[in-house]
Amino acid sequence: MENPLNKLSVISESFMKKIFLIFLFVVSNISGLYSQILNPGDGVRIIFYNINDNISGDYYIQQDGLLQLPFVGNIDTRNRDFKFIKTQIVSKYDSLYKNPELTVQPLLRINILGEVRNPGYYYVTDVEKISGILALAGGVTGAAASKEIYILRGEEEIELNVSELTAKGNTAADFGLRSGDRIFVPRSFWADASQYAIIFSGIAVLSTVIALLIR
């Protein structure tokens, strides 16, 4: 005869799992929280801590909006924000493994351009800080106006207060970085001014030489 206590334990565990998943769903849909939309070409980074299968890694959204994950199949990301996608991922793996411990982070495809050493497209998570994001592109050049960085989003231009972001330790989620954003590092005025100073100095020297030859 089955022990009633064992049956009660199984029911309690199943109930707690359902409560946890409902909690994730509610949190993911509370208005006013940071909402990240993922597009084809973006991805997710999944890290497991307590399972033997080697399936931690980066997974990318296909052009049809499907995110293919090992053992659990596809997740449709179309018209879904990241919090909903994360809830779906956790739910699927919770059904496959017993109490899996995992983290799920978005991978945003952005373009870093301007006065950086290696401009181009990069993937960043929402926990990256501005210094780490610029480091992906090799850091800023000596001619950069590193305190006047902008996010270019369509026709919108958003100035970032780099000193404040650095002092507060703000992450990409904190300053609202989105998929497809361009981070632009402008050229410093003094970098151009120094070039003009060299040119003017050269002209002055040349004028002096010419004046001496004419005498």
Residue 207 domain flag: no
Tell me the pLDDT band of 146, cut-offs 50, 70 and 90. Answer: confident
Tell me the pLDDT band of 176, cut-offs 50, 70 and 90. Answer: very high
* Whether the Cβ atoms of residue 145 and residue 185 lie closer than 8 Å to each other: yes
- Over the stretch 63-83, which tens digit does the pLDDT of each residue have? 999 999 999 999 999 999 999
Residue 215 domain flag: no
Output the CA angle 188-191-196, nearest 5 degrees: 130
The verdict on pTM exceeding 0.75 is: no
Residue 44 sits in the same domain as residue 78: yes
Residue 54 sits in the same domain as residue 114: no
Pairing of strands 102-114, 182-185: parallel
Residue 120 sits in the same domain as residue 179: yes
Average model confidence (pLDDT) across the chain? 84
Structure token pair of residue 165: 């972001």
Report percent pLDDT > 90 for the chain.
Answer: 70
Residue 198 domain flag: no
**The CATH number of the domain where 119 resides is what?**
3.10.560.10
Region 186-202: what's the mean pLDDT? 60
CA distances from 81 to 18, 58, 61, 106 (A): 21, 18, 13, 10
Residue 131 sits in the same domain as residue 95: no
Residue 151 sits in the same domain as residue 68: no
Residue 60 sits in the same domain as residue 130: no
Region 96-117: what's the mean pLDDT? 97
pLDDT at 186 over 70: yes
Q: How many helices (H) and strands (E) does the chain have?
A: 5, 9
End position of a domain, from candidates 100, 135, 165: 100
Q: Phi and psi of 55, rounded to 5°?
A: -125, 10
pLDDT at 8 over 80: no
CA distances from 101 to 38, 52, 90, 98 (A): 23, 12, 9, 9
Task: Round to whole Å and give the CA distance between 151 and 143.
Answer: 19
Residue 123 sits in the same domain as residue 93: no
Tell me the pLDDT band of 14, cut-offs 50, 70 and 90. Answer: low
Residue 91 sits in the same domain as residue 112: no
209 or 105, which is more confident: 105
Residue 70 sits in the same domain as residue 126: no
Q: Which residues contact 117 (CB under 8 A, 6 or more apart)?
A: 137, 138, 139, 140, 141
What's at 143, amino acid-wise?
Answer: A
Residue 196 domain flag: no
Residue 184 domain flag: yes
**The CATH number of the domain where 58 resides is what?**
3.30.1950
End position of a domain, from candidates 100, 129, 151: 100
User: Which of 4-18, 53-67, 100-114, 149-163 shows the lowest mean pLDDT across its residues?
Assistant: 4-18
β-pair partners for 120: 112
Region 142-165: what's the mean pLDDT? 93
- The domain total for the chain is 2
Q: Which pairs with CB-CB distance under 8 Å and at least 24 residues apart come from 62-66?
A: 64/40, 65/40
Residue 125 domain flag: yes
Residue 197 domain flag: no
Region 163-186: what's the mean pLDDT? 95
Residue 210 domain flag: no
Q: What is the pLDDT of residue 202?
A: 55
Burial class (CB in 10 A: 0-12, 13-18, 19+), 108: buried
Q: Phi and psi of 16, rounded to 5°?
A: -65, -35
End position of a domain, from candidates 83, 100, 117: 100
pLDDT at 27 over 50: no
Residue 96 sits in the same domain as residue 112: no
Residue 92 sits in the same domain as residue 128: no
**Domain ranges, residue 120:** 108-189
